Amino acid sequence: MKNACKWAQQYGPLIGRLLLANLFVVSGFKKITGFAGTAGYMAAKMPSFDPNLIKLMLAVTIAVELGCGLMVLLGWQARWAATAILFWMIPVTYVFHAYWGLPPDQMQMQFIQFHKNLAIMGGLLYIMAYGSGPYSLGKDNC
């Protein structure tokens, strides 16, 4: 058991960062390649927003997902990147995965997405608290 704990302490942060960052980096690239479709989806969720504001918010989203996702992946300024993603995820989760009040056929999927995002936020809080670990480009001690 002692060897398993040492292995997890040594390699766990790296593997965890890879798994967590993958979600954001892939999502950011998909938003670039599907910019118009994503902007349309966002506009449908926020119909009172100006289309230019939607495009600006999408550009910010791409910057957060790609920029901060890569920072977490590499372990460079990972605490700051995790903090930025966490604060970005709060309104995103509330706006795009508000499962309460939805028809039953939509409620379950949005419930899962909402709680998935809460779990991701937990992983981000862990990086904020403990840093990027031994295999990273920068030591981000508090």
Q: What is the mean pLDDT of residues 135-141?
A: 76
Residue 61 forms part of a structural domain:
yes
In a domain, 141, yes or no: no
Look at residue 9 in the predicted model and tell me its pLDDT.
87
- Shortest CA distance to 137 belongs to which of 91, 80, 75, 88? 75
- Is residue 140 assigned to a domain? no
The answer to whether the beta carbons of residues 82 and 132 sit under 8 Å apart is no
- The answer to whether residue 138 sits within a structural domain is no
86 lies in some domain: yes
44-98 tens-digit pLDDT: 999 999 999 999 999 999 999 999 999 999 999 999 999 999 999 999 999 999 9
Q: Residue 75: what pLDDT?
A: 95
26 domain residue, yes or no: yes
Cα of 95 vs its chain's centroid, Å: 15
CA distances from 118 to 15, 52, 121, 126, 133 (A): 20, 29, 5, 13, 22
Is residue 65 domain-resident?
Answer: yes
Name the domain count of the chain: 1
Residue ranges making up the domain that contains 20: 2-130
